């Protein structure tokens, strides 16, 4: 699959490279695994020194790195180097003589290999950065650990980075562009399933494109297969984040994916206080987010939670929840459940799709949902332009024939009565509007 999007990121990385020729620059790149960090870095820097931190002994890692350094920089390293700090100082010293880009991928893995290395790197960096020309790119996919390394005031590398880049999923505009290139006769339903099941994650998009699976049926056949990457994906990506308490986190996420979205609902089912878990899932791991009714006051307790990542939502809803059947390789059973529930399940993501579409129009200052106490008078989309005093109230349905704008007007009476100075537009959104 060809390289898509990331124009802003590429431009920024090129700019950083140029400025590193005056004095060394440290850039952090974070983003969940499979998002395309390595692909972006390699696209931005065809000429670079790329080191991947795998989980192995530090001396063995240095031995591997020395071979790469000698080949890429066309140098010979004499003597025995078993500590990465010595290798890093050697590279900083080299960068006083010539400019180059050093990429250290999965940088957070040094925490398990040798955590004192970060302090050593800080001292070396501070000593050399003003008189050297290194474009240092530190990439990591365990968000909580990367945040701790660079944003915790107690950590040695706090405040050392010049730039931070958080890589996001592909936008709906990019997903449409990809489908137009590889499956130009796609239907709105094809676009929706592509959006739900890949979540815009670059690696999943690439897998679907390479396998030429563009309909829901084809995509489910790919996911529910003996050799599928997707069946263990949530477990493989998140256990390292959550550590030994992963079962509690997985239970919470499975319930949220199954529409148990309030804290009280979750706690009544799990029979324990989960405030701390929710806080970490939202602020440390960035996997869920709070949803409040638009215009809700700051301290409002009218809160729901949703999983941010489309694919993780699907994994917890259909793969983790039915893991017993998955273990038995009874994939047809789970596929039938997905097909049975898909029309209702996909409705949530159709809402997300249109909210993103409205955000990308840059016509509104605020976009969200609305509901009143007890989940009464729920409205799918409310978009506000506070400058021009315009309010868009939207209903989202897969089938346009089920959209009832009069009913939406009645639901919105309390909302509109508080904003009588706004010009209100009522609009329906369906599959055909995608």
pLDDT 10s digits, 233-271: 999 999 888 988 899 999 999 999 999 999 999 999 999
What pLDDT, on a 0 to 100 scale, did the predictor assign at position 356?
96
Closest CA to 307 of 176, 196, 221: 196
Tokens of 25: 């620059």
Q: Which of 136, 166, 196 represents a domain boundary (last residue)?
A: 166
Average pLDDT over residues 352-359: 97
Q: Which of 276, 310, 328 represents a domain boundary (last residue)?
A: 328
Angstrom CA distances, 387 to 229, 294, 302, 391, 422, stand at 48, 17, 27, 11, 10
Whether 376 shows a pLDDT value over 80: the answer reads yes
**pLDDT > 90: percent of the chain:** 90
Whether 2 shows a pLDDT value over 90: the answer reads no
Whether 134 shows a pLDDT value over 90: the answer reads yes
Does 52 map to a domain? yes
Question: Residue 327: which H helix or E strand, with range?
Answer: helix 323-327
Is residue 121 located within the same domain as residue 26? Answer: yes
Is residue 152 located within the same domain as residue 269? Answer: no
What pLDDT, on a 0 to 100 scale, did the predictor assign at position 301?
78
Does 94 map to a domain? yes
What pLDDT, on a 0 to 100 scale, did the predictor assign at position 25?
98
34 with 230: CB under 8 angstroms? Answer: no
Average pLDDT over residues 280-294: 93
What pLDDT, on a 0 to 100 scale, did the predictor assign at position 156?
96
Does 356 map to a domain? no
What pLDDT, on a 0 to 100 scale, did the predictor assign at position 203?
95
Is residue 30 located within the same domain as residue 96? Answer: yes
At 239 the three-state DSSP class reads helix
Is residue 147 located within the same domain as residue 269? Answer: no
Does 1 map to a domain? no
Does 33 map to a domain? yes
Tokens of 273: 């206080």
Is the pTM value of this prediction over 0.85? yes
Average pLDDT over residues 386-397: 96
For tokens 């390789």, the residue is: 329
The domain containing residue 393 runs over which residues?
Answer: 361-433
Q: How many domains does the chain have?
A: 3
User: HSE-up of 262 (CA within 13 Å, CB side)?
Assistant: 10
Is residue 25 located within the same domain as residue 141? Answer: yes
What pLDDT, on a 0 to 100 scale, did the predictor assign at position 375?
83
Please provide residue 412's backbone torsions phi and psi, each rounded to the nearest 5 degrees: -90, 5
Is residue 314 located within the same domain as residue 368? Answer: no
Q: Which of 286, 309, 328 represents a domain boundary (last residue)?
A: 328
Q: Supply the mean pLDDT for the chain.
A: 95
pLDDT, tens digit, 9 for 90 and up, residues 175-208? 999 999 999 999 999 999 999 999 999 999 999 9
pLDDT, tens digit, 9 for 90 and up, residues 69-126? 999 999 999 888 999 999 999 999 999 999 999 999 999 999 999 999 999 999 999 9
Quick one: 397 exposed, middle or buried, by C-beta within 10 A (0-12, 13-18, 19+)? middle
Angstrom CA distances, 362 to 383, 385, 430, stand at 11, 10, 21
Does 312 map to a domain? yes
pLDDT, tens digit, 9 for 90 and up, residues 39-66? 999 999 999 999 999 999 999 999 999 9
pLDDT classification of 298: cutoffs 50, 70, 90: confident
Average pLDDT over residues 369-381: 91
d(CA 293, CA 295): 6
What pLDDT, on a 0 to 100 scale, did the predictor assign at position 13?
96
What pLDDT, on a 0 to 100 scale, did the predictor assign at position 383?
97
What pLDDT, on a 0 to 100 scale, did the predictor assign at position 199?
96
Is residue 300 located within the same domain as residue 368? Answer: no
377 with 411: CB under 8 angstroms? Answer: yes
Is residue 16 located within the same domain as residue 139? Answer: yes
d(CA 249, CA 253): 6
Whether 171 shows a pLDDT value over 90: the answer reads yes
Average pLDDT over residues 352-380: 94
Does 218 map to a domain? no
């Amino acid at each position: 699959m060809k390289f898509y999007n990331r124009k802003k990121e590429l431009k920024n990385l090129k700019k950083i490279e140029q400025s590193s020729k005056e004095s060394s620059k440290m850039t952090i790149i974070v983003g969940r695994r499979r998002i395309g960090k390595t692909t972006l870095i390699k696209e931005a820097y065809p000429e670079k020194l790329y080191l991947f931190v795998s989980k192995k002994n530090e001396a063995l890692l240095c031995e591997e790195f020395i071979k790469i350094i000698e080949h890429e920089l066309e140098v010979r390293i004499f003597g025995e180097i078993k500590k990465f700090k010595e290798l890093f100082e050697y590279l900083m010293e080299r960068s006083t003589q010539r400019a180059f880009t050093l990429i250290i991928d999965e940088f957070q893995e040094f925490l398990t290999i040798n955590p004192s290395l970060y302090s050593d790197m800080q001292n070396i960096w501070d000593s050399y950065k003003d008189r050297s020309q290194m474009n240092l790119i530190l990439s990591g996919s365990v968000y909580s650990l990367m945040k701790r390394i660079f944003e915790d005031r107690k950590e040695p590398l706090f405040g050392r980075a010049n730039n931070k880049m958080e890589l996001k999923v592909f936008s709906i505009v990019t997903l449409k562009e990809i489908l137009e290139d590889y499956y130009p006769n796609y239907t709105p339903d094809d676009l929706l399933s592509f959006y739900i099941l890949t979540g815009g994650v670059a690696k999943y998009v690439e897998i679907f494109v390479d396998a030429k699976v563009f309909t829901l049926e084809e995509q489910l056949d790919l996911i529910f297969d003996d050799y599928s990457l997707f069946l263990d994906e949530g477990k493989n990506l998140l256990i390292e984040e959550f550590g030994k308490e992963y079962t509690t986190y997985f239970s919470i996420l499975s319930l949220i994916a199954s529409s148990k979205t309030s804290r009280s609902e979750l706690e009544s089912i799990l029979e324990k206080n989960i405030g701390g878990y929710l806080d970490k899932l939202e602020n440390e791991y960035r996997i869920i987010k709070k949803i409040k009714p638009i215009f809700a006051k700051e301290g409002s307790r009218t809160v729901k939670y949703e999983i941010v990542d489309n694919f993780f939502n699907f994994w917890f809803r259909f793969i983790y929840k039915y893991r017993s059947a998955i273990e038995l390789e009874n994939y047809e059973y789970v596929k039938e459940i997905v097909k049975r529930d898909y029309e209702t399940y996909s409705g949530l993501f159709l809402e997300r799709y249109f909210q993103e579409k409205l955000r990308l129009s840059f016509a509104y200052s605020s976009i969200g949902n609305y509901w009143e106490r007890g989940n009464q008078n729920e409205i799918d989309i409310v978009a506000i332009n506070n400058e021009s005093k315009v309010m868009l109230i939207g209903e989202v349905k897969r089938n346009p024939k089920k959209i009832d704008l009069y009913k939406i007007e009645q639901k919105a009476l309390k909302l509109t009565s508080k904003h009588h100075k706004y010009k209100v537009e009522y609009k329906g959104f369906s599959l055909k509007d995608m």
